[in-house]
């Protein structure tokens, strides 16, 4: 079960979208390690999805989405 202290805010960039949301990350763990251990899809909670261009419009909000890790170009925490 996910707890608030396990949630880490992230921004994920793909070739088409900017995704903001939270991943379930153990306190003290690194996002890099999380990505290395992730399987085919990355679970993102409280997701907001925007068009990639600067000022791109919001295209989706969802309590949960799976992002195919093969499409991820950049992940930032915070």
CATH of the domain at 59: 2.30.30.100
pTM of the model: 0.86
Residue 27 burial (CB count, 10 A): 9
CA distance 66 to 44: 6
Walk along the chain (78 residues) in steps of 10 and give the mean pLDDT of each run.
75 96 86 83 96 93 96 91
Nearest CA to 22 out of 33, 13, 11 is that of 11
For 43, the domain range is 4-77
The pLDDT value recorded for residue 2 is: 54
The pLDDT value recorded for residue 4 is: 66
Structure tokens at 73: 């170009």
How many domains would you assign to the chain? 1
């Amino acid at each position: 079960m996910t707890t608030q202290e396990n949630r880490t805010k992230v921004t994920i960039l793909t070739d088409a979208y900017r995704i903001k949301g939270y991943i379930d990350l153990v306190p003290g763990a690194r996002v890099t390690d999380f990505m290395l251990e992730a399987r085919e899809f990355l679970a993102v909670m409280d997701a907001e999805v925007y068009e990639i261009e600067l000022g791109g419009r919001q295209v989706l909000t969802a309590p949960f989405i799976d992002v195919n890790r093969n499409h991820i170009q950049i992940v930032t925490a915070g």
